[in-house]
Structures are given as C-alpha cells and as structure tokens.
Amino acid sequence: MIEIRWHGRGGQGAVTATQLLAKACVKEGMYAQAFAMFGPERRGSPVVAFTRIDKEPIDVRSNIYEPDIVVVFDTLLMQSVDVKAGLKPGGTIIFNTQSSPKELEKDFPGFKIGAVNATEIALNRLGVPITNTVMLGALVKTTRIVDLENIEDVVLERFNVKNVEAVKEAFDKTLVLEG
C-alpha cells in the first residue's frame, strides 16, 4: 500500500488533488481512498488531505500517520507544521517551492525530493495561484505512481485544457533528487 499525506491551505486544491489522483489510480485498475482532515474550513487555513493506493481492496479507515509520500503546497506551513512527521525512512517529499531539491536536502536528508514552482506555473497557465493540478504533475514526475496520461484525463474531465497544460508543464519542470 502507498500512503500519501498532502499539506496545503484552504483554496489551494489539496482535497481536489487527492480525489483526482484516486480517480486516476482507479482508471489503472488499482484501489484508492481520498479524504481530508479540516480545521476551521476557510480559505487560507491549513488543510491535511490523504490518499491511499493499493492493488488490493483497502480496509484501513484511519488518517495516515506514516506516509510514504508527502506533498507540500505551501512551504510557509513548515513554520507551524512538521511536514515530515512520520514520513517513512527513504520516503518522498514534493514541494511547491522556488528552491532546488539540493537546497532542500539539508533539511530533508535521506529523502527523495521533488521541487517545482507550482505557484508560478498556476499563475501563468491559470491566472490564479491554485496549485492542485500543478502538484499532480510534480507528483507523477517524482514518483511515477500513475501514468501521466491518466492524470491528464481525469484533470480534463474536471477542469479544462489549461489545467492539463499546467500538469504537463509541472511534469517537465519538476526537479528530482534521489534520497
């Protein structure tokens, strides 16, 4: 089983990203769960969302405490949230950041690191700083967890071609450092 924890802020689309990823996994014949944990439900508030993926039916119904992968939509969250808490040794962490994976390595040694400036891509492609589809492109580039085409398909079902272009650009621009 692969477990993913997503850290974002209300309005960035982390919950939608979990749902789109789960849908892409199901298209590939896997089982998936997507769910979120909210505090005060308002734009800008911290949000934690989760995705579970497996080739077998998933019976677990709890939050994810020891993820294989962590996705961080806003690095400012790291001032108040330990985003790597419980991340399995040798796990993967993907950031929306202007920093390179090499620059992040000092704070996240031993982890596989993916980094992309998702906010810039979202602003250029979509005109708004909503980074959910962009971060899906970064996730696929960093982990190869699903085929890029399946992510593009589910994104197009929910949004429009601009979002698909954002996914592709993120895939192309994500830098990856093996742990």
Write out the residue range of the structural domain in which residue 77 sits: 2-177
pLDDT of residue 11: 82
**pLDDT tens, residue by residue, 3-53:** 999 999 888 889 999 999 999 999 999 999 999 876 555 666 788 999 999
CB 69 within 8 A of CB 2: yes
- How many domains is the chain built from? 1
Could you give the strand order of the β-sheet that contains 175-177, starting from the edge strand earlier in sequence? 31-38, 46-54, 2-9, 69-72, 92-96, 112-116, 175-177
% of the chain with per-residue pLDDT over 90: 85
Of 120 and 62, the structure prediction assigns the larger pLDDT to 120
Q: Where are the beta strands (DSSP E) in 57-147?
A: 69-72, 92-96, 112-116
The sign of the torsion formed by the CA atoms of 73, 78, 81, 85 equals: positive
Q: Which CATH number fits the domain that encloses residue 153? A: 3.40.920.10
Q: pTM here?
A: 0.94
For the ranges 29-38, 52-61, 105-114, 144-153, which has the lowest average pLDDT?
A: 29-38
Pair of tokens at residue 131: 């980074």
What tokens were used for 89? 């040794």
